[in-house]
Structure 1
Amino acid sequence: MKRKMYDSMRKWKEENGRTALLIDGAGRVGKSYIAQQFGENEYKSYILIDFNRAPAEITDLFIHYLNDLDMFFLYLSNFYGVKLYERESLIIFDEVQLFPKARAAIKYLVED
C-alpha cells in the first residue's frame, strides 16, 4: 500500500509537481510518514507543518504574510531552520483541515 502511494506521489512530481497534492484517508495509517519520506528522498529540502501542533508564529504567517510570499517563505524557512529552494522544496501541511486559512492559501503558495 505504501509503495503504491509513494509511486503515485513520484508520478505526480514528474508530471506536474506545480500543483498541490492531497493525501486523504483514514487516520493513523502512515500518510504523514510517507509524505516525509517522499520529501526526504525526492526534494532538496522539505518542511512539515502539523496544524495540530503549529505554534502561533506559523499560523500567523497565513494571516499576515500571504500578500508577501517572499517574506512568508523566509519566515517559514527561518522558523524551521530549513533552507527552501525554488521548485526543489516540498512543504507538507498535516492536519490542514484544522486551519482553514492554510487550506485556502494553498492555491497562492503553489503558484509561487
Structure 2
Amino acid sequence: MLYRKIERTIEQHLKSGSNKILLVDGARQIGKTYIIRHVGNKLFENYIEINMIEDSLGNRLFEKVRTVEDFYLQVSMLAGDKMKKSTLIFIDEIQAYPHLLTLLKFLSQDNRFTYIASGSLLGVTLSQTTSIPMGSIQKIQMYPLDFEEFLFANGMNEFVISTLRNKFNHLEELDESIHNKMMDLFKRGACRML
C-alpha cells in the first residue's frame, strides 16, 4: 500500500457525515484514483467507480445525464446490485463531463449514497462551468509524492522519517552515510519529477 498523507483527509471527510461531496483535484498520474479506491474499499461495504474519460471514449452513458434519476439509471446499468445502503460512488475524471459538476449539488441533496469525485485541471473546468455548486462540494488539492511519502515508498519506516524530521528541526547534522543515502533518494525522486 502506497502511503499518501491525503488519505487521512479523505477518510475524515467520508466519516464526517457531511452532505458535501469531496472533489479531489490534481495533476494526472499522481495517485488520486489509487488512494480514493483504497479508502473507498476500506470504509464502505459497496464501492462503485465510474471513470468518465473511459465513458466518453466508449459508451457515453453519462453524456446526456442531467437529472439524479438519469444518473442513477446509468449507474444501475453498470453496477445495479451494488447500489445499496453504505455505498460510495466514485466519479473519476469528472472534468470529461462538466455538466456533472452541476449535478453534484442535486446528488448531495438526494442523500441516497455517499459520493466522491476527482479530476485533473478542475480549476479550468470549474471556471468554464456556468453553475458551480460551491455549497455542495468541498474541493481539496492533491499533489505528487512529497519527499516523506517518497521515502515511505522506498522502504523507509516511521522511525527513520521521524528521526530525520527531528534532526532537521533541531538543525542537527546526519551521519555521512545516512546523509549520502538521503541525497541519493532525493536525487532519484527529483529525476522522476522531470
TM over 0.5: yes
Change (3 A) 1:103 1:82: farther
- Partners of 1:101 and 1:93 lie apart in 2 by 13
Correspondences of 1:59-74 after superposition (within 5 Å): 59-60=63-64, 62-63=65-66, 66=67, 69=69, 72-74=71-73
Quote how far apart the aligned CAs of 1:30 are. 0.5
Deviations 1:60-91 (A, max 9, x none): 3x23xx1x53x6424412323542124x1111
**What amino acid is the match of 2:45?**
K
SS at match of 1:53: helix
Quote how far apart the aligned CAs of 1:36 are. 1.0
- Partners of 1:58 and 1:13 lie apart in 2 by 24
Deviations 1:17-46 (A, max 9, x none): 421001112210100111111111111112
- Partners of 2:34 and 2:11 lie apart in 1 by 15
Contact 1:18 1:110 in 2 (8 A): yes
* Structure 1 unpaired stretches of 5+: none
Match of 1:57 in 2: 61
Structure having greater relative contact order (Cα 8 Å, sep ≥ 6): 1
Match of 1:94 in 2: 92
Change (3 A) 1:37 1:93: same
- Partners of 1:110 and 1:99 lie apart in 2 by 18
- Partners of 1:59 and 1:47 lie apart in 2 by 18
- Partners of 1:75 and 1:26 lie apart in 2 by 27
Match of 2:21 in 1: 20
SS at match of 2:54: coil
Matched, 1:79 2:83: no
SS at match of 1:3: coil
**Percent pairwise identity:** 27
Cα RMSD between the aligned structures? 2.1
- Partners of 2:83 and 2:7 lie apart in 1 by 22
Contact 2:46 2:88 in 1 (8 A): yes
Q: Which is higher, the Rg of structure 1 or of structure 2?
A: 2
Q: Could you tell me the TM-score, scaled by structure 2's length?
A: 0.48
**What amino acid is the match of 1:14?**
K
